[in-house]
Structure 1
Amino acid sequence: MTAQSKEFGFGVPWESLYGFSQAVQAGDTLYISGQLSHDSTGAFIGAGDFELQVRTTLDNLDRVLTHFGATRNQIVETTVLVRNLRENFDTIARLHAAYCGDHRPTSTVMGVSDLALADQLVEIGAVVRLDLAP
């Protein structure tokens, strides 16, 4: 039997420009592209405000989860890319822990020199198992 895949996008300009989906479901696994801080029209939010960018990025991650009927407890892995990691580590650690609550997915956090948008300070991707109890 062949697994079916489903793609999801927000309809923001860079999806077609770059040629990607916000998420792809392959069987019971959901692969979520790195989320960033933007509103529903694609306008960037929080230039210079790391905490606001993280909170908005996690809200966008929740939007993807909701589209697929998934919950945070089904996240099995996060990948967190952070500019100025030494300066922002305590904040990203606190907000990631609060987002996950008692659930503990695997996670990789990496300091990077640059991200896709000039003012972007954080990007968070995830892998989700839809067959896990929500």
Structure 2
Amino acid sequence: MPAEERLTDVPELPATPGYAHAVTVSGKLAFVSGQVSVDAAGCVVGVDDLAAQTRQALSNLHHVISRFGADWSDVVKFTWFVLDASEVQTIRDVRDEILRPALGDVHNPASTLVQVAALFGPDFLVEVEAVVAVPREASDV
């Protein structure tokens, strides 16, 4: 796995709620465009349901990273765009529900969450993009 070290303890900073302050990598990186809650037909999934939209957006993201032979343990950074940052715990809960089986006790990737006035479609509540350390055996993709 090219995600080599997750910096989680910085004495001068408060503890994070489950994500790494920084992640070091080696090898090739993939910068994955923001994913929203649409199904394969382009229909919005989970209108007015942040948890359902987060699950679908992460599912879509996983489909993309899988094409590189990557999994959640290879994600080094998430950037989240949300309409309501006060709902961050819903996003954290869904993220952990999906990532915990793959990461075990390893901290989540580095993460940034930004509240925005709008996303590109009026029904979207969340968008997530990622930086992925492409596994060495898949670096020819």
Alignment TM class, shorter chain as reference = 0.7 to 0.9
The alignment partner of 2:113 has SS state of strand
The alignment partner of 2:123 has SS state of coil
RMSD, aligned CA: 2.0
Runs of 4+ in 1 over 6 A off after TM superposition: none
Contact 1:70 1:130 (C-alpha < 8 Å) held by counterparts: yes
Gaps of 5+ in 2: 1-26
Count of residues in correspondence between the two structures: 107
Matched residue type, 1:52: A
Gaps of 5+ in 1: 1-26
Deviation at 1:132, TM superposition (A): 6.6
Partner of 1:91: 90
Matched residue type, 1:44: V
Contact 2:36 2:57 (C-alpha < 8 Å) held by counterparts: yes
Partner of 1:118: 122
Identity %: 34
Question: Is 2:36 the counterpart of 1:36?
Answer: yes
* TM-score under structure 1 length normalisation: 0.73
Cα distance in 1, alignment partners of residues 35 and 72 from structure 2: 15
The alignment partner of 1:93 has SS state of helix
Deviation at 1:95, TM superposition (A): 1.5
Deviation at 1:54, TM superposition (A): 0.5
Contact 1:37 1:56 (C-alpha < 8 Å) held by counterparts: yes
Cα distance in 2, alignment partners of residues 42 and 80 from structure 1: 20
* TM-score under structure 2 length normalisation: 0.69
Partner of 1:22: none
Partner of 1:56: 56
Deviation at 1:98, TM superposition (A): 2.8
Cα distance in 1, alignment partners of residues 97 and 115 from structure 2: 20
Contact 1:37 1:53 (C-alpha < 8 Å) held by counterparts: yes
